[in-house]
Structures are given as C-alpha cells and as structure tokens.
Amino acid sequence: MKEGVAVAVAAAAASASAAARPGGAWQSGVTRRLQGALVPALLVMIWEAVVRLGFISPNLMPPPSEIVRTFRDLVADGTLLAHIGVSGLRVLTGFVIGATLAVIVGAAIGLNKRLEALFDPTFQALRAIPSLAWVPLLLLWLGIDEGPKLTLISIGAFFPVYLGLVSGIHNVDRKLVEVGEIYGLGNFALIRRIFMPAALPSLFTGLRNGLSLAWMFVVAAELIAATRGLGYLLTDGRETGRADVVIVSIITLAILGKLSDSVLRTAELRFLAWRDVFASR
C-alpha cells in the first residue's frame, strides 16, 4: 500500500516538474493542438477518397482539393476577405451591444427578486423565439439597411449572456454574502467584491455562447436583404449551383467562430487565473 502511494506521489511530482520546466507548458499546448487536428485531418482524407472513388457526385460534394482551389481564388480576388470584413464588423458590433445590455439587465434582475419576478418570464418566452422568426418583423420596423441585421445579432448575443450572469449571481454562496455583511460591506461593495468575482465563470460561459450565437444569427440576417457578408455568399453559392462556394463559406464561418472563441477563452483564463479547478487528464 505504501509503495503504491509512493509511486503515485512520484508520478504527480514528475508531472508537475515537467509542466514547470521552461517550455513544458508550451510543449503540452502544442501536443493538445496536434491531437485536436487528428480528427479533422482524418475526415478530410476520407472525404477526398469518397468523392474521388465516385461514391458522391463532385457537383454535390466537391473534394477538399477543389475546396482549397476555390478558397484560394476567392482570397486572391479579394471577394472572401471583403465578405469576412463585413460579417466580422456586424458580429462585433451586435455582440458588444447585446452583451452590454445583457450584463446591465442581468445584474439588475439577478440582484433584485422583484425585477426577476416581473421581467424574467418575459425574457424566457422571448428566448424561445427562433432567429428567423424575428426577420420579417425587423424588416418591417427597421427596413433593409444595417439596423435589422445588428438588432438580430444583438438579440442572439443577449440571452446567453443574460442567462449566464443571472445563474452566476444566483449560485453565489450565501455564506460569502453573509460574511461580507458582517464586515459592513455596502451593496456596491458586495457586488464588486463578492457577486461579480463569483459570477465571472458563468458570465464568461454566457459570453462564449453569446458570441457563438452571434455568428449564427449573422448568417440568418445576411440570408435576407443583404448584398455583402458570408451569409450572402452562402445564398449566392446556392443560387449559382456552386457547392464549393457554399462549403468555403461554411468552413470560413467555422474558423472565424473558433478564432473569436479562442480570444474569449484566453481572456477567461487570464481573468479567472485565481481559480483552483480540476484539469482533465
């Protein structure tokens, strides 16, 4: 028994020392990224083989080699970059508007039972409305310019951030609040020193989900009444029978969504470095 414990302790110490060595954490991160690329690489090889062997028509599912050529051509003539710039700006603007409103409203409702009783049922009902159901109404109200697109993206970003913050506030340990009150902390001090730090993990989860939905909603916004953006490029590829353009648009959206999520993930790790949490093995 003692030998087993000694072996376990030695293994843990070796693992800790490896992580502590200069470059150890970097090498570990590179290894994880390489592991994460295995599944996509395998799927791409299977995809190429299935199309080349004639199991799927190239008109319906172009092989990856054709997708790469289309991607290169769209980048070379500036078409793809222009659409990325338009969609990226819409997502950034809509996300900032929606997330800011969600933080303000979520903090007020999470800290006030009366406001929660008044407004939370309405927000829960609105949250269940599909994104495309908003489009006709927003077009009637705001026309076909940028207004309805930014509003739709803001709606998509609002509800995940709102839910994350409210649930984070509700999950704050009551004993922490009582200790703060014993030490004479006022309402503002309680929010700043107890509620907000404790709710930050849930808030960042909501922000990441909200950003993901913002990318989804921008496609819904650009599928109708748009002449620029990745959603418009999807529609144009469908109408011209260019499956390769459609797939390039989808892959571009996936890459942009992953990159933007990685930015938020990095911020989350930085702001929540004080947490002592379990790391998967």
Tell me: pLDDT of 11 over 60: no
pLDDT at 251: 92
Tell me: pLDDT of 82 over 70: yes
Question: For the chain, what are the domain ranges?
Answer: 2-52, 64-271
pLDDT at 280: 57
Q: What is the mean pLDDT of residues 86-108?
A: 94
Per the listing, tokens 């949250």 go with 127
Mean pLDDT of the chain: 83
Q: What is the mean pLDDT of residues 226-233?
A: 88
> Is 64-271 a domain of CATH 3.30.2320.80?
no
pLDDT at 10: 40
Tell me: pLDDT of 12 over 60: no
Q: Which residues of 2-18 are buried (b: 16+ CB within 10 A; e: fewer)?
A: eeeeeeeeeeeeeeeee
CB-CB contact of 126 with 135 (8 Å): no
249-280 tens-digit pLDDT? 999 999 999 999 999 999 988 888 877 665 65
Global pTM reads: 0.81
Cα distances (Å, whole numbers) of residue 249 to 67, 79, 233, 252, 280: 10, 11, 7, 5, 33
pLDDT at 22: 47
pLDDT at 35: 75
Q: For residues 216 and 144, give the distance between their C-alpha atoms in angstroms, rounded to a whole number.
A: 19
Q: What is the mean pLDDT of residues 51-80?
A: 88
136-152 tens-digit pLDDT? 888 888 888 888 899 99
Between 34-38, 57-61, 110-114, the lowest mean confidence (pLDDT) is in 34-38
pLDDT at 15: 43
Sign of the four-CA dihedral 88, 148, 233, 250: positive
pLDDT at 17: 45
Residues 250, 205, 115: CA angle, nearest 5 degrees: 120
pLDDT at 1: 40
Tell me: pLDDT of 64 over 50: yes
* Better pLDDT: 209 or 223: 209
Report which of 209, 210, 226 is spatially closest to residue 87, judged by C-alpha positions.
226
Tell me: pLDDT of 211 over 70: yes
Q: For residues 83 and 80, give the distance between their C-alpha atoms in angstroms, rounded to a whole number.
A: 5
pLDDT at 13: 41
Q: What is the mean pLDDT of residues 72-80?
A: 91
Range with top average pLDDT, 11-25, 53-67, 179-193, 238-252: 238-252
Tell me: pLDDT of 57 over 50: yes
159-197 tens-digit pLDDT? 999 999 999 988 888 887 777 777 777 777 777 788 888
Element (H, E) at 7: helix 2-20
